Chain A
Amino acid sequence: MKQSTAADARSSASMSRNRSTSGLSREQMLELYYYMRLTRSLEERLVNLYRQTKVVGGLFRSLGQEADAVGSAYALDRSKGDILSPLIRNMGSMLVQGATPLEVIRQYMARGDSPTRGRELNIHFGDLVRGFIGQISHLGDMVPVMAGVTLSFKMRGEDRVGLVYVGDGATSTGAFHEGINFAAVQRCPLVVVVENNGYAYSTPLSKQTAARELKDKAVGYGIAAEQADGNDVIATYEATKRAVDRARSGGGVTLVELITYRRKGHAEHDNQSYVPPGEIDKWEKTNDPIDRYIQVLSKDFAVDKTELESIDSRVKSEIDDATDEAEKSPMPEPKDALVGVYADPPEEKPLWFREGVRAAVEVNERPASWGTHDG
């Protein structure tokens, strides 16, 4: 069911698209390519680090979804102070807002100088100055938060827009419902991007919702809807741009459904046994967002191979440099764990049995296993 919906959207989106309306310069078109390539290559580097056991926790990929994250974020205006909040497959959107490969790698490697100082995992980090707020694991929670962020824009009369990403799965949560409804009532300058990649962990869209299309949910909230082929970066940009413009001009909330496909598992450990045979292959061969964009760039904009190759090599060297730098980063000091729960006091006191001990594990840890079984 998912496949045909996506295929239909893809064909109708490309038929109706008028490229001249995007208003993007050639330079911007190449920048979109750069961010998509950076997203993919950085994740590939993280896979290498994961296999070397240098990534401490799980690894989340957005393979095949780079266009929707990059194209949608690109519709925001960083010079105006627009803010977004990504979900786990939107690293590309964070890169557009200025997150760096070094930050991402340090974060995955749990280093002491990572953006969260080793407290949080993967791309769960943010920066209000550059305009992105880190997500938490609880899905949908960022929708009410971004309702509040954009409510403050409205209250202060600021010319700023907010954008929040959720997946198809998060549309089933109470937080999504309450957040989008409140933002709609308040006519907040908020864009809610629903990234429909067909699966929430193992759960296909048909078990997530009985709605015919996720964009239909907008009707019930009394807000505008857009839908685009999420594997077409320009279509994604254009649909999101319309929503951003609507928000900025006082038109309130828009739900933007971007249709794409999750080619990797929920996280690196997931073997995708639940996916029908051939489905992933088909998307990889016929609907890769980067391959498709290269076609567009070369056919319609006369971008030649060497130009793209030079971007690719720039991306590679940026990632190489970031990896080298991150490998040199220190792990946090154990007692850093005590810092930052409150503004005042700035630091918790160590428990009495830890006084004078740098870390308990230095004294007597870690047994191979507990109990009777070495798992």
Chain B
Amino acid sequence: MAEITYLEAIREALFEEMDRDENVFCLGEDIGVYGGAFKVTEGLQAKFGEKRVIDTPISEIAIIGAAAGAAHMGMKPVCELQFIDFISCGYDMLTNYVATARYRAMLPCPMVVRGPSGGYVRGGPFHSQNPEAAFLHTPGLKMVYPSTASDAKGLLKAAIRDEDCVLFFEHKYLYRRIKEEMPAGDHVVPIGKARVAREGTDVSIITYAATVWKSLEAAAELEKEGISVEVIDLRSLAPMDDEAIVATVKKTNRVLIVHEDTRTGGVAGEITARINELAFEWLDAPILRVTAVDVPLPYSPPLEDYVLPQTADIVKAVRRLAAY
């Protein structure tokens, strides 16, 4: 089977799920004839028609709210946000309505909200965001953020089949930069399960999305110095795979958490707290974080490169941990 990109893997999942279940439909801005800002949905409307691939007005509240209503009625909506930065426009719908629907009213909300996320692309403050921390704090929403093409496909299929709302973050830097062969058959990756991206024995890096690749680069460099690094790709942020986190802590006793999002109140803080609660006695060193610095993401290359985590930062942090 031929290799396909991360972007094509997402598209393949959409085609397969729409084929499989006629209740699956897509809605979003410019996703029909145009095929979406990044062409993720290219060809979808040609195959499934305007009824199931709906071009919406510029209205995130309506996109998310209407998806919820349709989901109550047994449909399986997949919302595309043109950039995930616009999820903030639908924040009220997601956090107040969708996230609480099952709990407060026994209303099912099986829907997916997906969109291009992340930086390293000179997109500036409104086309580079990583919004996961805002929603990690909202009970009722699931969240996945794949780093590989096969996980992107398998997790999107799982998200569409899930009985609750899943936020599906797609890293736009990875869209066309990574490629792999898809597993044969109906490839579904379970939500809530992390993946060991690289085995190692000295230091664990727990990460997700684009910084998985930065971490793997760092691990390869550190190997030359005799430091064996394990890289855990969380894949799902809610629910989080505590078992995988604890297993790697027990194995290496040293943990670095890496994410592209800003530092304060970020996902790394939550992971740190879980390790403290679940595996404190297994630690030989303080848990460290490599994250973006707490500023809105700037546009100019020297500024963006300074703000976002880079491989050199990870190398430096792992060396510090290895010295304990």
Contacts and interface: CB of A to CB of B under 8 A. Distances in A.
Interface of A: 56-57, 110-112, 116-121, 124, 136-140, 169-170, 172-175, 200-203, 207-209, 273-274, 331-338, 341, 348, 350-351, 353-354, 357, 359-361, 363-365, 367, 369-375
B259 to A, nearest CB: 13
B169 interface: no
B217 A348 contact: no
A175 B60 CA distance: 11
Interface of B: 3, 5, 29-30, 33-34, 37, 55, 57-62, 82-83, 85-86, 88-89, 122-127, 148, 173-180, 210, 213-214, 217, 221, 263, 290-291, 293-296, 298-307, 310-313, 315-317
Which of B213, B301, B302 has most A Cβ within 10 Å?
B302
A337 B298 contact: yes
B178 A370 contact: yes
Nearest to A339: B295
Contacts of A369: 177
A174 B59 contact: yes
A372 B149 CA distance: 11
A202 to B, nearest CB: 4
Given A120-B124, A370-B178, A110 B300 contact: yes
B298 A119 contact: yes
A334 B295 CA distance: 13
B300 A370 contact: no
A367 B213 CA distance: 11
Contact of B123 (A57, A139, A209, A338): A57
Nearest to B177: A375
B123 A373 contact: no
Given A200-B57, A375-B179, 9 more contacts: A117-B300, A203-B58, A208-B58, A334-B305, A354-B293, A360-B305, A364-B310, A367-B217, A370-B214
Contact of B299 (A121, A207, A361, A365): A121
23 contacts: A56-B301, A57-B124, A110-B299, A116-B299, A118-B298, A118-B299, A118-B302, A138-B86, A200-B58, A203-B29, A203-B57, A208-B58, A273-B33, A334-B302, A341-B295, A350-B293, A353-B313, A360-B305, A360-B311, A361-B312, A365-B311, A372-B180, A373-B177
Given A139-B58, A370-B210, A363 B312 contact: yes
A336 to B, nearest CB: 6
Given A202-B34, A364-B312, A373-B177, A338 B302 contact: no
A103 B59 CA distance: 32
B55 A207 contact: yes
Given A57-B122, A341-B294, A369-B177, A172 B57 contact: yes
Contact of A365 (B86, B180, B295, B312): B312
Given A331-B300, A360-B313, A372 B178 contact: yes
Given A138-B126, A370-B217, A373-B178, A334 B303 contact: yes
A333 B302 contact: yes
Contacts of B30: 201-203
A117 B303 CA distance: 10
A49 to B, nearest CB: 15
A362 to B, nearest CB: 8
Contact of B310 (A335, A365, A372): A365
A292 B201 CA distance: 73
A285 to B, nearest CB: 25
A255 to B, nearest CB: 17
A140 B312 CA distance: 40
Nearest to A208: B57
B104 to A, nearest CB: 23
Contacts of B311: 360, 364-365, 367
Contacts of B177: 369-371, 373-375
Contacts of B304: 337
**Which 9 residue pairs spanning A and B have beta carbons closest together?**
A118-B300, A371-B178, A172-B57, A373-B179, A202-B34, A137-B126, A334-B306, A370-B213, A360-B310
A337 B213 contact: no
Given A57-B122, A332-B302, A371-B177, A173 B58 contact: yes
B85 A137 contact: yes
A348 B307 CA distance: 11
Which of B58, B301, B310 has most A Cβ within 10 Å?
B58
A371 B150 CA distance: 13
Contacts of B59: 172-174
A374 B24 CA distance: 33
A97 B300 CA distance: 26
Given A111-B300, A118-B302, A361 B310 contact: yes
A121 B298 CA distance: 9
A57 to B, nearest CB: 5
